[in-house]
Amino acid sequence: MPRFLNFKAYPVSFDGLTVVPVAGLILFGALGLFSTAQGGSLQSASLFRQGIWLLVSLVAVGALRWVHPRFYYQHAYRLYAVFLLLLVVTFFMPAVSGGQRWIMLGALRLQPAELGKIVLVLALAKYLTDYRKQLAEFPYAMAPLGIAILPTLLIIGQPDLGTALIYLVVTFAMMYWANISSFYLFVLIAPVVSIVSGFEFYAFSAWMLCLIVVLTLARVKLRWKTVLFAVNALFGTLAPTLWNSLQPYQQRRILTLLDATSDPHGAGYQVLQSRTAIGSGGLFGKGLGEGTQTQLRFLPVTDTDFIIAVIGEELGFIAILVILILFAWLLLRLLDRASTTQYRFASLCVVGFASVFLVHVFINMGMATGLMPVTGLPLPFLSYGGSFLLTCILMIGLTNYLLAGEPL
């Protein structure tokens, strides 16, 4: 038997202050999926499959007790290599809904990019733990971006821009938690600003001037300053080209963010119906199974990305407020545990998991209200999706196991 497996379960107790909000969110998700299941056999099947995935997820978390917590640190890079291989395999699978994101195992569909969020966090945490003393040097500080960029590019090719965004934000959050210089973090954000400002000459010129000032004051070798300026200038210059490289539906989603009414029967339809559903629910909702937008299918996508619109219409603003409180409770508890543990590797992992949850909640809620472009990111513990539910519950389970491990 491999050394990292034990005949006895590793002693660990789950943190009740973490389990309670998760259980509450799963309950709200079940209510939302139960409501959507009233609309036909397809939605009923989604509710049944979500229940199966919940059982699978709980069994998987229980099975983790037979894996020593140090395993995740020791084999993080190996898991990362397997993850990259699985992403490559997806390109040889049949396309589903216009994307090659799943590995087909008979009737089971597994999305590697979802479980890969855990693997990426483990790999980044190992690097930031092993090289903690070298992170003051620019090449070492930028290496985590290299770890993240490989899977990110593969996921963009699937295409799945929403998940790719998650990978980059998680990397930034973990680098910040590892006390990497604020200038180096600025270097990560700068290309995004260069791309956005690249569409307008005067804005881009002003940004380049600001960049020159920052680079001049920065205590970095001249060659790195030159490279950084050249990269940002290139990103800004190529901004129109990058825009044209997007798929037409991706361009429409971004334009819809600026004005959902510009395409009310196309890209803006889902957002407008979601706003209507949430607004019509009022304070206490229309009642479970009584929402007109949901039950009459004016809101096309109900069980995945826009589950919060279903809950808002049928259970009201009070239910949405309770959900937000539960998410805040969960995130604050995770950050509290990450900041009080002496285990650097575990602390970084927990922050990575918390950032995954935070970005999903922020973007999903923004999509439902028209404040963010529709990127296909589900709501943790509530939206239908087997691989995503498994990933979320595993992150909660790993939080407890890693914090019970050995100092690293």
3-state secondary structure 304-319: CCCHHHHHHHHHHHHH
CA separation for the pair 382, 273 (Å, rounded): 19
Can you tell me the mean pLDDT for 256-282? 68
Residue 16: pLDDT band with limits 50, 70, 90: confident
For tokens 């998760």, the residue is 22
What pLDDT score was predicted for residue 341?
A: 87
- Please tell me the distance from the alpha carbon of residue 169 to that of residue 290, in angstroms, as a whole number: 38
Residue predicted with more confidence, 359 or 242: 359
Structure tokens at 313: 């219409």
Q: How far apart are CA 377 and CA 374, in angstroms?
A: 8
Q: Is cis: bond before 407, omega within 30 of 0?
A: no
**Nearest residue to 275 via CA among 321, 306, 319, 315:** 306
Locate the domains of the chain by residue range. Answer: 181-245, 260-388+404-408
Measured from the Cβ of residue 255, the count of other Cβ atoms closer than 10 Å reads: 15
* Listed range (266-270, 290-294, 361-365) with the worst mean pLDDT: 266-270
Of 170, 169, 184, residue with least CA distance to 134? 184
Q: Give the mean pLDDT of the chain.
A: 82
More confident residue, 15 or 400: 400
- Using pLDDT thresholds of 50, 70 and 90, give the confidence band for residue 23: very high
Q: What average pLDDT does range 150-159 have in this prediction? A: 85
For residues 288-303, give the mean pLDDT: 71
